[in-house]
Amino acid sequence: SERLGKEVGFYQDPYSDYGRLQDEMLRAIRLVVDTGVHYKKWSRQQMVDFFHAHSAVDEPDVQSETDRYIAWPGQALGYKVGQLKIIELRERAKKELGGRFDLRSFHDEVLDAGALPLDVLDERITEWIGGQQKSAKMSQKN
């Protein structure tokens, strides 16, 4: 959903898109520091230094982010994998439904289920696509 504003033309100029780009950069930084501390055995100071070198995040937030990713291994990656899966499911639904694809209905289907394992979400969206296709066929018969 974070990409949605960009996709629907919400940002009228580069300045209005700046906040979204900053958030995207922060998510990329989180991936790096999460991997850095848990795989490359970075020190806390290396994490802090990376945040300072690559973001405009203020010191209290840098410290909070650092603590978060020390204590919660893989959280940044889990977030990104979920984002990519939802994008993949949306693209599949668009491809299979063509002009019948409704973005709002797709998002409702994803969000109404609450937090789900990604394989269960995949099954849910597959069933939703099938239901949309069946409804379209029924409409054509009438």
Higher pLDDT, 114 or 9: 114
pTM of the entire predicted model: 0.81
Verify that 40 and 99 share a domain, yes or no: no
As a whole number of angstroms, the distance between CA 59 and CA 56 comes to 9
Q: Per residue in 86-138, pLDDT tens?
A: 999 999 999 999 999 999 999 999 999 899 999 999 999 999 999 999 987 77
- Show which of 28, 55, 73 is a domain's final residue: 73
- Show which of 16, 48, 73 is a domain's final residue: 73
Verify that 31 and 48 share a domain, yes or no: yes
Identify which of 122, 132, 65, 70 has the alpha carbon closest to the alpha carbon of residue 96: 132
- Show which of 17, 39, 73 is a domain's final residue: 73
Specify the number of domains making up the chain.
2
35 contacts: CB under 8 Å, gap ≥ 6: 77
pLDDT at residue 142 tops 70? no
Verify that 92 and 43 share a domain, yes or no: no
Cα within 13 Å of Cα(26), Cβ side: 15
Q: Per residue in 44-63, pLDDT tens?
A: 999 999 999 999 899 999 99
Domain containing 116 equals: 80-141
